[in-house]
Amino acid sequence: MTVYLLKRLAIALITLVLASMVVFAVLEIIPGDPARLMLGMNASADQVELLRNQMGLNAPLPARYLHWAGGLLSLDFGRSYTYSVPVIDLVRERIVVSLPLALIALALSTIIAIPVGLFSAGRHGRAGDTIAMGAAQLGVAVPNFWFALMLIYLFAVWLRLVPAGGFPGWSAGIWPALKSLILPAIALALPQAAILARVTRSALIEVLNEDYIRTARAKGLPYRAVLWRHALRNAMIPVLTILGLQFAFLLAGTIIIENVFYLPGLGRLVFQAITQRDLIVVESVVMLLVAAVIAVNLLVDLSYAVVDPRLRSRQ
Amino acid sequence: MKLWKTILTAAALVLATGASALAARDLVIGITLEPPHLDPTAGAAAAIDEVLYANVFEGLTRIGPNGEVLPDLAESWTVSDDGKVYTFKLHAGVKFHDGTDFNADDVKFSLDRARADNSVNAQKGLFAAIDTVEVVDPATVRITLKNPQSSFLYNMGWGDAVIVAPETAGTNKEKPVGTGPFRFQSWAKGASITLIKSDAYWGAPVSLDKAEFRIVTDAAAAVPALLSGDVQAFPFFPDPDSVAQIKDDPRFKVVIGATEGETILSINNKKPPFDKLEVRQAISFALDRKAIIDGASAGLGVPIGSHMSPANKAYVDLTGLYPHNVEKARELLKEAGLENGFKATLKLPPPPYARLGGEIIASQLRDVGIDLQIVPVEWAQWLDQVFTKKDYDLTIVSHTEPNDIDIYSRKDYYFNYDNPTFDKIIADLNLTSDEAKRMTLLGEAQKILADDAVVGFLYELPKVGVWDAKLEGFWENAPIQANDLTKVKWTE
């Protein structure tokens, strides 16, 4: 177990270092000058140069990489070029939207997907299964921004139950803040639930064909108990893997939904920073996300060990 | 379905009682781009002025709803006979939002700061003519110019020329402190910027108590935001295709006005074959402005024949110079020795007017034998490749700065256009203050640009304003990019 853990940690660290190099190099290659973007079309070349110096953009590339990476080690993420505030402050403002949104969406997705997967697997090949999987297929196929707009027209414009978008901030109270996250969470959760339900179903079907399931049934355990106690637990590994990937996606890959609901989330911060060539923000936020993804994967790896005792004892 | 709606409506009522109804003197305004920071003297982004101009910050002069120069912090001024010395009399009793007094020292500080060697004011050119700024007494400022400049009072009305206090100039990006009728309250990044009425305001008090600028980045989200009542006004409405739908709704007012945005097909004038006049004229004949306006601006733009807004007094209608004529275009290409056509690239920045217009223009030019390869670029790439490095053949962009016909006389500007006769007219224009003479010169300037077919002149970008029918006082036109809220009020 310890070796397993140490190996995982070492891989995570190497990934982080490599990722920091790739992220930095890629962003330095793309054309565009943050100083020119800030000053616009009427500023002279001299002025742009002046601002570049002020922003520290004229230092050589390796020096800037070391400065930035060194800062990351001491948890200093640098200052945004355009906003002129520490990047960590920007992230803190956004994470209070993105993290709850991702968690709610993930919870919704799991609550919908696992029962549907169980239901479908239990009725493998019958009408119920076909209908459930057809619905899941639809959930994957429908573009989520369209689905989001339909939700907005129904619940915000027609029924006026929730706001059409925006985020009032947690200072406005838990309920108003939650209310503005409900529709985006549903819009995010549905396609994820559809994928998760399909994975749960196929994993369960595979497990249900195993010999020990027949044995369990043969020794007289009721079908429901077999499904819950033996099958679901053994089918959990692919489901957990998908859940881990989905969480990483929900944290940062939600730019389209954030735009439709004009939520101030992490995805939009990165997108905005890219268009403004606020490179330090992009680089630092991407690194934070890389770290988050690696951490989640590590957790998923550890959770395998929880569901599968064999991994715990393996040296 | 009916039962469902009843149940859901009942639920809605229960929920709605928890939410506070908007007070009648509050207003939520939708904007599509978030300002990068809140200091109008330190950035070119129009979004900065759209929130702060005239609301939080004020200048010596200001630009009115129709582009006219109005007194602002300066209540009056005199100009010496040689046109070089401006003496401004300042309003008394003006305070900054932090409670400090405004006086002539602040004017000197602001103008000297903007034109200093290390200034990164995005419109530093506005201050280039200033020689000295002197404080005569706390309520009088004397500005001496190096040479007479007819546009000086207009220049002082730009957002980039607003007056700031020395104590707060360094922190205006995050916490703007001005002298205007609204003061800054909060900025939830990515979500909204809130201004509240300043009770200590020196001028006519505003009607609104609170104005929240909500950032709605997605054009498709603008309509539901209005329909749900979350946002009550989009002075710059981002989705022209939905205008028809909203026009039919009595709850809203739709106002189509003019901007200063000349939307043009820019041509690299030094790059063969575009260095040939016939080729550029052929392009102008090949363009069907009506089809472009219909396709790229939902039919709302006004065609232009040169670089001047039809709303401007100096406007000369030159749209008849190159009517859509495919035959004529082919003939001109033949004269240029290109009867078999040629290939070129068309770089398109992100705004819909460029991306949609580009497709249409590419097909129109294909009809005369010019085969365009469309290259979509981001703004950062556009500024870098097209604007700075001039690495392009054709591009589409809207030049939104007011009265900017002089860009064609700038050395090294991305059009690569060089015409001494035109430069002379612009130089004369800068020294002429007689209105009639100015109009003649501006007319000549427009004529030269059209004759030379420097670029393909397409249309004036429309300003589509949509707001609650109970609101009044918004600007109909956009002589500068601003959302002046000083006259905005709820009528009931």
Query: What domains lie within chain A, and their CATH numbers?
Result: 88-313 (1.10.3720.10)
Best residue of B193, B228, B347, B388 to probe chain A, by most A CBs closer than 10 Å: B228
pLDDT, averaged across chain A: 87
Q: Is A87 on the interface with B (CB under 8 A)?
A: no
Question: For A89-130, what is each residue's pLDDT tens digit?
Answer: 999 989 999 999 999 999 999 999 999 998 898 888 888 899
Is this model's pTM higher than 0.80 or not?
yes
Please answer yes or no on whether B221 and A41 come within 8 Å at the CB atom. no
Closest partner CB to A90 (pick from B34, B189, B221): B189
Best CA proximity match to A272, nearest among A262, A260, A282: A282
pLDDT, averaged across chain B: 91
CA distance B107 to chain A (A): 22
Please answer yes or no on whether A156 and B224 come within 8 Å at the CB atom. yes
pLDDT reported for residue B16:
44
Question: How many Å apart are CA B108 and CA A164, to the nearest integer?
Answer: 47
- In this predicted structure, the answer to whether residue B2 has a pLDDT above a threshold of 60 is no
> How confident is residue B485, by pLDDT bands cut at 50, 70 and 90?
very high
- Name the 3-class secondary structure at A7: helix
ipTM confidence: 0.81
- Residues A233-248 have a mean pLDDT of 86
Judged by average pLDDT, the poorest of A22-31, B341-350, B465-474 is: A22-31
- Residues B202-207 have a mean pLDDT of 93
- Residues A149-174 have a mean pLDDT of 90
- In this predicted structure, the answer to whether residue B6 has a pLDDT above a threshold of 70 is no
Percent of chain B scoring above 90 in pLDDT: 79
DSSP B149-176: -TTHHHHTTSGGG----TTTGGGTTTS-
Question: How many Å apart are CA B220 and CA B12, to the nearest integer?
Answer: 24
Please answer yes or no on whether B401 and A44 come within 8 Å at the CB atom. no
Question: How many Å apart are CA B450 and CA A136, to the nearest integer?
Answer: 60
pLDDT reported for residue A4:
76
Question: For B320-378, what is each residue's pLDDT tens digit?
Answer: 999 999 999 999 999 999 989 999 999 999 888 999 999 999 999 999 999 999 999 98
> How confident is residue B1, by pLDDT bands cut at 50, 70 and 90?
very low
> CB–CB of B68/B56 below 8 Å?
no
Q: Which residue of A has its CA nearest to B19?
A: A176
pLDDT reported for residue B9:
52
Question: For A258-306, what is each residue's pLDDT tens digit?
Answer: 989 999 999 889 888 888 888 889 999 889 888 888 888 888 887 887 7
> How confident is residue B138, by pLDDT bands cut at 50, 70 and 90?
very high
pLDDT reported for residue B312:
86
pLDDT reported for residue A225:
83
- Residues B467-477 have a mean pLDDT of 94
Q: Is A90 on the interface with B (CB under 8 A)?
A: yes
Best residue of B378, B404, B415 to probe chain A, by most A CBs closer than 10 Å: B378
CA distance B36 to chain A (A): 6
Best CA proximity match to B178, nearest among B41, B50, B45, B64: B41
| Cβ neighbours of residue A255 closer than 8 Å, sequence gap 6 or more | A267, A268, A270, A271
pLDDT reported for residue B21:
43
Please answer yes or no on whether A260 and B43 come within 8 Å at the CB atom. no
Q: Which letter, b or e, does each residue of B78-109 get, where b requires 16 or more Cβ atoms within 10 Å of its Cβ?
A: eeeeebbbbbbbbbeebebbeeeebbbebbbb
- In this predicted structure, the answer to whether residue B466 has a pLDDT above a threshold of 90 is yes
> How confident is residue B114, by pLDDT bands cut at 50, 70 and 90?
very high
